[in-house]
Amino acid sequence: MIRGSGVTRPKPWEVDDELWAVVEPLLPRVERRARHPGRKRHPDRLVFQGILFVLRTGIAWEHLPQELGFGSGMTCWRRLAEWTEAGVWHRLHEVLLAKLRGANALDFSLAAADGPHPGAKRGSKTGRSPVDRGRTGSKHHVITDATGIPLAATLTGGNRNDVTQLIPLLQAVPPVRGKRGRPRRRPDVVLADRGYDHDKYRRLVWNLGVKPQIARRGTEHGSGLGKQRWVVERAFAHLHWFRRLRIRWEIRDDIHEAFLTLGCALICWRRLRVLVSDAVS
């Protein structure tokens, strides 16, 4: 409770009615059999809150506190796997991007890409990280719009070169609706650091109808790209605020990618909340 106000502050993992109104229609419908109904299915909203609790705190599934009403850790994990297979998180991200574009909060004039090295303990899509003494690691690759809103994110092993993921990142940007006319999918310009410096990939980016602005190796620092490219670094800071994304504990790469996409969607939701509060005030 906020002291002196009499208002209870919601917990970070609690799902407000506005967000749940966006998430619930995307969840697959499960029909119970009449003759053999089995155990009653735990409410989707509480399970979703349990998934958010794990994402934000980084707690192990088996340590998920059942007294909060989320159900067991295995219940939440199975529901996360089920919703991941149904493509819920990508659709949620796409819906929120469309809402942002409808509010004129997306800027496709520029995009920025980068790929730092979070740690990884095990599982597929891992490799010997060149920045962590050859230990096993994975990479998060993210592309944002000009304001730092994540448009797409991918996961690879820690030994993958950043430049090899530039085209997959651009192709992973979903068709963003929200306005009349054709959905927007490609930015006008993509910014990247020297790790993406390769003429072959510059040509491939041009073939997608996007202008590459990539710093050249062997040149002095001070290209000026950092004045615009810093937004992707801020996006990574926001993503890695979710403790489950700082170190990869999942054996299954699709589960970790689900957390990564859900993190991108939650960043979009926060931006929408800020826009709404600014409009009200």
Of 74-83, 87-96, 109-118, 269-278, the least confident:
109-118
The pLDDT of residue 63 is above 50: yes
Confidence of residue 74 (pLDDT cuts 50, 70, 90): very high
What are the tens digits of pLDDT across the range 115-148?
865 554 544 555 555 545 455 678 899 999 999 9
CB 184 within 8 A of CB 176: yes
CA atoms 69, 73, 77, 78: torsion sign: negative
Using a pLDDT cut of 70, give the percent of the chain over it: 81
112, pLDDT greater than 60: yes
Region of poorest pLDDT, from 31-35, 101-105, 125-129: 125-129
118 is a domain residue: yes
189 inside domain = yes
Q: What is the CATH number of the domain that holds 111?
A: 3.30.420.10
pLDDT of 102 over the 50 cut:
yes
Does 149 fall in a domain?
yes
103 CB burial (10 A radius; 0-12, 13-18, 19+): middle
204-216 tens-digit pLDDT: 999 999 999 988 8
- The pLDDT of residue 275: 87
Structure confidence at residue 39 (pLDDT): 73
Structural domain containing residue 124: 107-252
3-state secondary structure of 49: helix
pLDDT at 38: 66
How confident is residue 3, by pLDDT bands cut at 50, 70 and 90?
A: very low
In a domain, 136, yes or no: yes
CA nearest 97: which of 49, 144, 45, 38?
Answer: 144
- Give 163 or 128, the one with higher predicted confidence: 163
Give the list of residues 6+ apart from residue 79 with CB closer than 8 angstroms, or none.
42, 44, 47, 48, 51
Q: What residue ranges in 134-267 does DSSP mark as E strands? A: 136-145, 150-157, 189-192, 211-214, 247-248
- The CA distance from 246 to 117, in Å, is 9
Q: Examine residue 2 and state whether it is found in any structural domain, yes or no.
A: no
E strand or H helix at 188: none
Per DSSP, 185 falls in state -
Instruction: Return mean pLDDT, the chain.
Output: 84
pLDDT at position 133 is 47
- Residue 191, beta-bridge partner list: 112, 213
Most confident of the following: 93-102, 161-170, 222-231: 93-102
Of the listed ranges 131-135, 181-185, 231-235, 254-258, the one predicted with least confidence = 131-135
Residue 8: per-residue pLDDT:
52
pLDDT of residue 1: 39
Residue 144 lies in a domain: yes
How confident is the model over 254-270, as pLDDT tens digits?
999 999 999 999 999 99
Domain count, the chain: 1
- Residue partners of 251: CB distance under 8 A and separation at least 6: 122, 123, 124
| DSSP bridge partners of 248 | 120
- Per DSSP bridges, beta strands 247-248 and 119-120 are parallel
Q: Classify residue 116: in a domain, yes or no.
A: yes
In this structure, are residues 104 and 97 in contact, taking their beta carbons and an 8 Å threshold? no
- pLDDT for 242 beyond 90: yes
